[in-house]
Amino acid sequence: MDNRLVAVAAVLVVGVAGCGGQPPALGGKTAKVTINGESTGGPHPVTCSQSGWAWLIETPDQEKGFTAALDTGDSVTIQSVDFRDLGGFTGTFWRDNMGEAEIQGAGGKYTITGTADGSFADNPSNDVSAKFRIETNC
């Protein structure tokens, strides 16, 4: 067998072996997010972690993204959502403190809707309540 053909075959085997163990391009978990009915782009890659009954859903980008905390005990409840310059909006929902929200779903597939208090990047001194919707499958 020609040495060049052996080298090409070796590269192909290594390339295929290297690709087989890779996670999907977005980690397989994404979220669709709208702010005031406007898409924020996406789908956004998210990580989902669980500790006991508490779930944390967050984008890996800590400068432009979101973090949502929920409780999956007897019933599923949303505890907080923090937006960081997502679609130009930075704001927060905290259960029983700031904004309003509800969550529907189970088994990792959730839709979170509500309002968060904050501001938009184009007018940061103007405090607003923005409607949001997050759909994700963890």
* Range of the structural domain that residue 96 is part of: 25-137
Q: What is the total count of domains within the chain?
A: 1
What is the Cα–Cα distance from 132 to 123, expressed in whole angstroms?
A: 18
Q: Which residues contact residue 33 at a Cβ distance below 8 angstroms, ignoring those fewer than 6 apart?
A: 39, 40, 42, 44, 66, 86, 87, 132, 133, 134, 135
50-77 pLDDT, tens digit per residue, is 999 999 999 999 899 999 999 988 899 9
pLDDT below 70 — which residues of the chain?
1-27
Indicate whether 29 belongs to any domain. yes
For residue 94, the Cα-to-chain-centroid distance in whole angstroms is 18
Indicate whether 31 belongs to any domain. yes
pLDDT, position 46: 96
Indicate whether 6 belongs to any domain. no
Indicate whether 103 belongs to any domain. yes
SS3 call for 116? strand
Indicate whether 17 belongs to any domain. no
Q: State the average pLDDT for the chain.
A: 83
Indicate whether 75 belongs to any domain. yes
pTM score of the predicted model: 0.78
